[in-house]
Amino acid sequence: MKDKVILIVGGTGGIGSAIASNLSEQGAKIVIAGRNRSKAEEIAKELNANGGDAYAIDVDVTNPSSVKNLAEQVKDGLGKVDVLVNAFGQGIIQSITDIDHQAAKEIIDVNVYGTFLVTQTLLPYMNENSHVLMFPGTMGKFVMKNSSVYSASKFAIQGFTKALTEELKRESVNFTLFYLGGVNTPFWDDDRVQMRVKKEAMLSPESVAETVTATLSLPSTAVVNEVVMQPESHQLV
């Protein structure tokens, strides 16, 4: 991974920041992009203090101009992207009759439109044999009670990615879908996620990051298309 340009959109979140830390240790150049510029700068500063090569950029994944600016800044500063990590997203676990219309729209806008916009915009800025990582989570593969809007957004990411693998199979772009079970992140602290959970029984962001690094470290002749990773106590098959 040494000197590879890794763009992590959603790099200020628990999973994104853990991936940034792990890949930075492998010698990659890390770009942390998120809505919270100060948080992104804080993470980048910490990585650089540990010998890394990290940068922070703010982005609104639902704004075409903001995403285009992100792509241009990365290209001008570091060159083309080797790995795009779409680690952003918002959650909502509520009964369908209780979901606020605006909240539902925001989930769809960020999770679905944002994933489309970031991926579409960045593809021309990526090297040959590049890699795109998507995180539909297990709610993009299975469903549970009160997950209607959230699962709809995550199943959309699955369909979008699988269609792109067909569309771009001759373009030397690899895709990996990560179907993660519960991960111990601030996701569960959102008031819209009305679900009792035991964080101590969940996956750690660090274990997810190790799996991501292993996936990206395979020879260029191999690609892992799907990863299903769940807490031992919450397995779905």
Catalytic residues: 150
Give, in order, the Cα–Cα distances in Å from 185 to each of 15, 103, 119, 199, 234: 7, 20, 24, 8, 16
Q: Tokens for 67, please give them.
A: 């995403």
What is the number of helices (H) and of strands (E) in the chain?
7, 7
H-helix or E-strand spanning residue 124: none
Largest Cα separation within the chain, whole Å, is: 50
Distance, CA of 92 to CA of 79 (rounded, Å): 36
End-to-end CA distance of the chain: 32
